[in-house]
Amino acid sequence: MSDARTPAQIEADIVRRRDQLAETLDEIGVRMHPKTIMGDVRARIASSVDQTAGRAFVAVNRTVSDVREKFVAEDGAPRLERLVPVALVAVGLVGLLAVSARRRRG
């Protein structure tokens, strides 16, 4: 038994392959279109920014939690033995900055 194909079968095969090739070329054209490329770049940048912002949020949240643990007791009461020295240092720094600013003006 021979697998000889008829001219109609060969022609149908050629038409089918031509259609497949046209679809492939259309898809390549869409993928390589500048608007498509820019859209893909924008999407990747947005994703990267979202990931970076998410990581930054987690890092800030962790830092705030760590600082809070140092200055607030488990029951929610402030730890005055730690807050008072920090407040005194902050007031001292603000005072030094004020004095320094007055000396520069005067």
Asked whether residue 96 is domain-assigned, the answer is yes
DSSP characters for 24-58?
HHHHHHHHHSHHHHHHHHHHHHHHHHHHHHHHHHH
Q: Which domain holds residue 90?
A: 76-106
Asked whether residue 99 is domain-assigned, the answer is yes
Asked whether residue 97 is domain-assigned, the answer is yes
Q: How many domains does the chain have?
A: 1
Task: Give the pTM.
Answer: 0.46
Q: How confident is the model over 4-56, as pLDDT tens digits? A: 899 999 999 999 999 999 999 999 999 899 999 999 999 999 999 999 999 99
Q: How far apart are CA 85 and CA 93, in angstroms?
A: 12
Q: How confident is the model over 62-96, as pLDDT tens digits? A: 999 999 899 998 898 999 999 899 999 999 999 99
